[in-house]
Structure formats: structure tokens, C-alpha cells
Structure 1
């Protein structure tokens, strides 16, 4: 086994995704150690956990209690990324560390990431959300990323150096009390802060390889195909390393993401089998058991009930007014 570690972070209600990520890594990159950082109490089950789980309680992180009272479940999970990163770099024998969101599905060998850290001497690797302008026909626009951030915090890679530790210290400091998801106040949880990383710190690689971090936000700019061996390729010459199923639900398998309510899988027929496989793996990993667990930490908001016809009509009318105001020329 090499000295590199891959970790993810979640509350108990997303452990089914974390297990799916782990199995995709086990299949494609068996030499990497995989650990789940749990921002929760570990649920009792009648089945064995397939991967190592370390609870936030085991880190004895003094500020956590205050953070838990301040943040929503999602904000709290995001704010703990640098906390766990420092823990793994300090107390585990690894010198390279990769973070992946639980909803990532690894499809290929990722040794190139470690090569960039070790042989090409980068300390930090980030991936941009988009690399080309977005056409007016899409459900989202470049303006979305002015709110959400230029780089996706669902993946990053680090090498243990003084420069990296400085970055993690800075990021942890900002996320202690400035990790809210509140676009109106210029807050984009953990992700928006990454805009500063290439400016504040040295040896940062912004990875433009189109096979990295394929997701709903960049599918429109990348041509996806299957080669004769059945391998997914991006822009003809780049093997897809991992797909980020952000906003995907196994209960709505034809919807690319809940963030794009009008975009169905039929738009990308080459991905249909991939989505079917991912849905199957999520269900096999106890989706219905885990999804109903109420997290022990963070401010919990129960899932919204389906809206009735009147509410939907009000929402539709409200959005028409907002759209008119935003596009009104003075």
C-alpha cells in the first residue's frame, strides 16, 4: 500500500454515498487507504461497516461544539474538511492526501494526482467548476460561480509541506465562523474561500484535465464518449477519472441533479448506464436505512414536504417577478 490516503466527510445520513465512493476506489485504486470522517455519532447497524470510520468526537476538536450550534448540517460538514485534513497529515503516516465528496464515483486510476504532488512538486491541487463560457441556453450561468466559487471543494489534493499546513490553518480559521451558505452576504460555505488559494499560497495546480471532476456543472462543455474498451472518455483523449454525482437521488434516477430540474439523463445518453450503475450501488449500500437518520450535530432542517398546486403557482409567479426585476433595463 502506498503512503497516500483518501478521505471523505459526511453525517450518518450520507454514509451510503461514502460506502459507494469507497467501493469505487477499492475497484479502481486498491492501494490507497480510504477513511470516512464522520461528523456525527456512529449508527448501530446489523451489518459491518466496510470501511474505516473516524468520528469527529475522536479528534477532540475544541471549537467543534460551538461550530455545531452555529452551522447547518451541510455547512458543518464543509467546515470540518481542513480539520480532518490536518488530523490525517499529522497523525497518519501518509504524506499525500486526497479529499473527495461522498457523491463522487471513481472510474479510473488516479495515480496521476500523486505524480503531480510528488514528481512535479505541487503542494495543492484544485479543479475549476468550468473552463469555458456558458451559453445562454443552459439552466445555469457564469454568474452562479461568482456566488459558489471558481473551484469545486468536492475534490482537492495536498502534500504535507509547510505551505500546505499554512493553507489549512488559514482555511480552518475562516471556516470557524465564516463558513455559512448565504450568497446574499457573500458566503459560499467552504468553497468560495478557495478562490484565494492560488493567490495566497505557492505551488498550487489548477487541474484543467477534462477527465477530472466531471459533473452537472461542466457536462455541457465536455464531449463524453465510450472508447472500444468501454472506458468513458472526455474530449476524446482523456479518460474520465471520476464523476461527481452532485444533487443525484436514486429515487429520481433520470434527473442529472436536483440543481438542474429541467435536465434529464436523456440529454446525455452515453451516461445512462453509468447513472444506472451508481443508483444500484447506492441502494445496495443501505440507502433507505441511512437516509432517514437525523444527524446528532449541526442545525437540522427536516426535508421539505412536496408542494401543493397553489404553492407551486405562487413560486412560479414569484420567480417571474424576480426574473423581470433582474432583467429590467434602466
Structure 2
């Protein structure tokens, strides 16, 4: 039986993938393990790595160029997952192919997973396994209703007709709609897997091994203990831990849960495991890599590609523009520049993250006073209409009118 294992990573997170690679080598020596780097191998601080690095472009054709622009870094990394499954299954002739997120760490062989259901075609892990009526999760259950029931930091497929058909369906959907978008109910590659039970039937194996894909979202139901020289989860062997949102600069287990809720993670075993992981990643050159800029974060003249640019490109469709969207000589760049939408501020270079908003508290107070005045002057009915208006125009896709001098001026253009 032949295994293939891969992970997908941008250059700045390469130390996480290298840490995973060390653990894979420990438990699967000689296995075909590939670190697929989405933004290429140029600009890395080291020339030689002890694990196999592959540039994503080695697996892509020109049809993927629009994806590099319309998706942000997380969306693009996940949009190529199904395509890579298909390519690697064909290339390696592996019986089973595993995808592991770069921020996972392997503690035991993966054989326990596929041997549990050798006839299945796809293997998935739900975020949660135990139905607890009065559960007090540090990471609330309702968040998974948008993110998806299954966590795609882990996924395995067996080479079979059912798997290949499902991967082709998934690949087509990810090329079109791999956005993290609350409005459309999309959460990158992950939300699509909610269809898996319906489409795959008994070809889907839902893993109930409690030691697989352990993470902040399920630690309320899974107790980590150290047992001799190994780790256990609720008495079962720990196989794969997922350090999603891990805090390398501080001491939090994850940035995705409220700090005041992280007492759920305050155990001696978890602190020891987290400290070991932090040290392992830091020793792989985390400080030197984390500042490497994303290769698809700028036009080829150095202008920043902002989230607004990506969403306007999405709304109008790649077919409206040149085949090389990152070119400064392209119609897209000219249209954005003519609309005064080019932004090279420090905030833009950090993708306008919430933390970059200046004086948010002061602006919120001003907004509150203004809205109260509007309510007083115009009444409750028009206030409700104003909220609906805000809801519509809070979507970047609704601002294509800013490019009215370019291809966006088509009166029948349909905006999502």
C-alpha cells in the first residue's frame, strides 16, 4: 500500500510546514511527502531545506492566474487543494493521499485512519463529535454553521472512481467560489464539504478517532494527557494535533478564541505541548520567514493589491479583464488607478486588517451620535431602511460603480 502526503503553504509560514514534515518523517519514514509553496521558492532565506519543497506553479496552467488575484492568501491556498489531490493521485499512483494543514503536528502513523475503513473513498473529521446539551465551548458551536461541519485541516482520499468524481466536483467549485464570505455562506474549501455525506454516502468515512485533528474547537470534549513517552486524548492515542491560529509571539493556544475564554485550555499537558510546538517552529527560522511578503499581494510595479481590488475583480468577472491581472499595464490596473482606488498605505499592505483601523473607538462614538440624530430626525421606519442600505453597500462587490469608466459600465452587469 502506497501513501502520499502533502501540505499547502505560503513562503512566510514555511517553518510550520517544515515542523510538520519532521513529524511525518518520524512516523512515515520514506513516504512521499511534499510541501507545496503557493507563492514559489524565490526569496527564501535559505537555499537548502531538508524536506521536499515544490512550487505550486509546477502543478498549474494559465487558467489559475485569475484565482491568484480574486482570492486572498487563505482563499487561494485552499482553492487548489482538490486540484492537487487529483494531480498527486495521478502522478504518484498512491493508494491513499492525505492532506494536512501546515499548522498540524503528527504524533503517530496515519495507518489507523484508513485501516479503520479501507473501502471508503473520502475520510473527514467533524469539528465536534459529542452532542452536549449544556456545552460551554470556548469556541462556540454556532461558528461551525458558517465554517462547515467538517474541518479541512485534515482530509484523506483513497484512489477510487467515487473519490475522483467527488474531487473533480470539488475542484470546479473551488475554482469558482472558494471565498470566505458570510453573505454567500461560503467558507473557502471547507463549507463545500457539508455536501459530502449526501454525495458520497457510504463512500464517506466520518472519523470518530478522538486523537485526530485535535484543536481549540474540540478541546472542551477531549482531554489531553501525557502517558509515558506519548500523548493521549480521552485515553486514545494522539495522532494529529491542529495548532490553528497558534500564538507564536505570546502564550495563547489560539488567536481564534476570546482570551478570557481560554481557561478551557489551561492545563499542564496543553501548556507543555504548546511550548514544545512553539519551540519547534521557532527553531525552523520562523522569525526570518514570517516577514516574507505574499508574492500575489502586489501588482508587478509594486502597487498593493487590496481586498477591495480582489472583490471588485470578483464582482465583474475575470473575463472582463486582461489575462494577466497583476500587470501594471493591464486594463484592470488602469481602471483602479483612474477611479483613485490605488492604496499603498501601511494599512493596505496589511490587507486592511481590523487591527489597522485607526481610532476605532472614537469613530464608533461619532457613528453612534450620528445615527441617533438620524433616528430623531427621520423616524424608525427610515432608520430601518438605512440599515438595509448599509447591509447592501457594506459588500465591496456592490461598489463596482466606482469603475464606471471601465468594463464595469455595462448596464446589465450582474453583481453578486
TM-score in terms of structure 2 length: 0.70
Q: In structure 2, do the counterparts of structure 1 residues 309 and 138 end up closer, same or farther at CA, with 3 Å as the change threshold? A: farther
Structure number with higher relative contact order (C-alpha < 8 Å, ≥ 6 residues apart): 1
Q: How many residues align?
A: 312
Q: Deviations over 1:72-98 (max 9, x none)?
A: 010000101011111101112322100
Cross-structure match for 2:55: 55
Q: Deviations over 1:251-276 (max 9, x none)?
A: 12x20100013215862221111111
Cross-structure match for 2:243: 245
The Cα shift of 1:145 comes to 0.8
Q: In structure 2, do the counterparts of structure 1 residues 316 and 101 end up closer, same or farther at CA, with 3 Å as the change threshold? A: farther
1:50-89 aligned at under 5 Å gives the runs 50-89=50-89
Q: Does structure 2 conserve the Cα–Cα contact (< 8 Å) formed by 1:255 and 1:265? A: no
Unaligned runs of 5+ in 2: 298-304, 307-348, 368-416
SS in 2 for 1:226: strand
Q: In structure 2, do the counterparts of structure 1 residues 107 and 314 end up closer, same or farther at CA, with 3 Å as the change threshold? A: farther
CA distance in 2 between partners of 1:112 and 1:224 (Å): 19
Residues 1:302 and 2:350 are matched in the alignment:
yes
Q: Does structure 1 conserve the Cα–Cα contact (< 8 Å) formed by 2:45 and 2:289? A: no
The Cα shift of 1:10 comes to 1.0
Cross-structure match for 1:125: 123
CA distance in 1 between partners of 2:196 and 2:57 (Å): 29
SS in 2 for 1:63: helix
Residues 1:16 and 2:65 are matched in the alignment:
no
Cross-structure match for 2:220: 220
Q: In structure 2, do the counterparts of structure 1 residues 234 and 61 end up closer, same or farther at CA, with 3 Å as the change threshold? A: same
Cross-structure match for 1:311: 360
Residues 1:155 and 2:147 are matched in the alignment:
no
- Of Structure 1 and Structure 2, which has the larger fraction of its residues in helix? 2
After superposition, the CA RMSD in angstroms is: 2.4
CA distance in 1 between partners of 2:35 and 2:267 (Å): 31
Q: In structure 2, do the counterparts of structure 1 residues 305 and 122 end up closer, same or farther at CA, with 3 Å as the change threshold? A: closer
SS in 2 for 1:185: coil
Cross-structure match for 1:327: none
SS in 1 for 2:26: helix
- Stretch moving more, 125-134 or 137-146: 137-146
CA distance in 2 between partners of 1:307 and 1:73 (Å): 18
- Stretch moving more, 288-297 or 265-274: 265-274
The Cα shift of 1:136 comes to 5.8
The Cα shift of 1:306 comes to 5.3
CA distance in 1 between partners of 2:216 and 2:23 (Å): 20
Cross-structure match for 2:35: 36
TM-score in terms of structure 1 length: 0.87
Cross-structure match for 1:195: 194
CA distance in 2 between partners of 1:169 and 1:276 (Å): 40
Cross-structure match for 2:256: 259
The Cα shift of 1:294 comes to 1.2
